[in-house]
Amino acid sequence: MNIWQYVLKRLLYVIPILLGVCLLVFILFNVVAGDPTVAMLGKHATLEQMNELRHQLGLDRAWYYQYFDIVKSVFTFDFGRSWSTKQQISEMLANGIGPSMTLTLPAFMLAVTVSISLSLVVAFFRGRFIDKFFVFLCIVMMSVSSLVYILFGQKFLAYDLGLFEISGYEYGFPYFIPYVLLPMLIWLMMSLGPDLRFYRTVILDEIYQDYVRTGRAKGLSERKLMFKHVLKNAMIPIITNVIIQIPFLILGSLLMERFFGIPGVGSITVDAINSSDFPVIKAMTVIISVMYIFFNVLTDVLYTVVDPRVRLK
């Protein structure tokens, strides 16, 4: 089976999965969450006011119409209007995706590059001081709350030392760069612990394989074995770990955007949660689900690129 046949087959499988996701989203927000008019109008609202608002929001329609609206939004990306801002949700997300990507995309690429590079170094010096030091450092970094990184960065690096902007955002290149440098640094510090430990484990698993011992017996240098053979054969779990994180980049970092005043998708989502703006929350849930499914298919296809032994069936 070639790649295109496999992709088409997987996309056909995606349809019932999307219908199931839409059903779960409908149950979560229309059944489990209860009546949103209570949160919007307050506990002192009259029954007439609640019924009128429920009619305006379309919540008094039959359940299958409301479910169909969610299904339609998956294919049209028309999520209606926000309950709190009255704006088109697609326009809100389009305006927020730029600031989010200026932070999350370079921060994510930097974190992946540094983590993989360091994991090769510590695996190369496995069992020595540098390896034990970085393992200990990873455990310490993983034990620290993300709020500690953010507050420390804002208080000492930005406010006391004046090395970075404390908060804010300016649109356009290169005006946004000073405002995303500190969040990028904090993102790197938060990601380095778990990512470095994972990549180190994956690479060490490959180092103890028979083909590495055979390469050493043939006289191949340790550096050539690490970068040409070990890293290549470790790419499947690395690709899985990297690509599975990509769908969540569109959401941005909720804490980062909130604390640093970046008007991205993460800030929009936090505002929607605080105001019980269900259409925006449903839109983000559906978008993340669709992207997660799409990148799962992409991950399987990339397996065949890095490892010819993998066959698509």
Greatest mean pLDDT range, 81-85, 111-115, 279-283, 285-289: 111-115
Cβ contacts of 216 within 8 Å, gap of 6 or more: 222, 225
Q: What share of the chain is helix, strand, coil (3-state, %, to 5)?
A: 75, 0, 25
Burial per residue of 85-98, b for 16 or more beta-carbon CB atoms within 10 angstroms, e otherwise? eeeebbebbeebbe
| Higher pLDDT pick, 36 / 18 | 18
Determine what percent of the chain is predicted with pLDDT higher than 90: 8
Whether the per-residue pLDDT at 59 is higher than 80: the answer is no
Confidence of residue 18 (pLDDT cuts 50, 70, 90): confident
Confidence of residue 281 (pLDDT cuts 50, 70, 90): confident
Instruction: In whole angstroms, give the CA distance from residue 77 to residue 94.
Output: 11
Superfamily of domain 96-306: MetI-like (1.10.3720.10)
| Higher pLDDT pick, 13 / 308 | 13
| pLDDT at residue 233, rounded to an integer | 81
Instruction: In whole angstroms, give the CA distance from residue 154 to residue 64.
Output: 48
Name the H helices within the chain: 3-27, 36-41, 47-56, 63-76, 89-124, 129-143, 146-152, 177-207, 210-217, 222-224, 231-233, 235-243, 254-260, 265-274, 278-306
Whether the per-residue pLDDT at 138 is higher than 70: the answer is yes
Cβ contacts of 253 within 8 Å, gap of 6 or more: 103, 104, 183, 187, 266
Residue-wise pLDDT for 92-101, tens only, equals 988 888 888 8
Instruction: In whole angstroms, give the CA distance from residue 84 to residue 206.
Output: 53
Instruction: In whole angstroms, give the CA distance from residue 82 to residue 84.
Output: 6
| pLDDT at residue 312, rounded to an integer | 61
Q: In 3D, which of 278, 298, 277 has the Cα closest to residue 28? A: 278
- Read off the tokens for 206: 């490959």
| pLDDT at residue 185, rounded to an integer | 92
| pLDDT at residue 177, rounded to an integer | 92
Residue-wise pLDDT for 164-182, tens only, equals 998 889 888 888 999 999 9
Determine what percent of the chain is predicted with pLDDT higher than 70: 93
Task: Give the mean pLDDT of 51-62.
Answer: 79
Q: Are 183 and 99 in contact (CB under 8 A)?
A: no
Confidence of residue 251 (pLDDT cuts 50, 70, 90): low
**In this structure, how many other beta carbons lie within 10 angstroms of the beta carbon of residue 32?**
8
Task: Give the mean pLDDT of 207-230.
Answer: 81
Domain ranges for the chain: 13-76, 96-306
Confidence of residue 229 (pLDDT cuts 50, 70, 90): confident
Task: Give the mean pLDDT of 193-221.
Answer: 86
Handedness of CA 102, 107, 112, 117 (dihedral sign): positive
| pLDDT at residue 310, rounded to an integer | 63
- Supply the mean pLDDT for the chain: 83
Confidence of residue 252 (pLDDT cuts 50, 70, 90): low
Query: What letter would DSSP give residue 154?
Result: I
| pLDDT at residue 307, rounded to an integer | 66
Greatest mean pLDDT range, 62-66, 91-95, 303-307: 91-95
| pLDDT at residue 211, rounded to an integer | 84
Q: Tally the C-alpha atoms within 13 A of residue 62's C-alpha that lie toward its C-beta.
A: 3
Q: pTM of the predicted model, to two decimals?
A: 0.81
Q: Which amino acid is at 173?
A: F
| pLDDT at residue 313, rounded to an integer | 63
Task: Give the mean pLDDT of 149-161.
Answer: 90
Lowest mean pLDDT among 20-34, 117-131, 137-151, 189-203: 20-34
| pLDDT at residue 237, rounded to an integer | 86
Q: What is the dihedral of CA 300, 301, 307, 309, to 10 degrees?
A: 80
Whether the per-residue pLDDT at 200 is higher than 70: the answer is yes
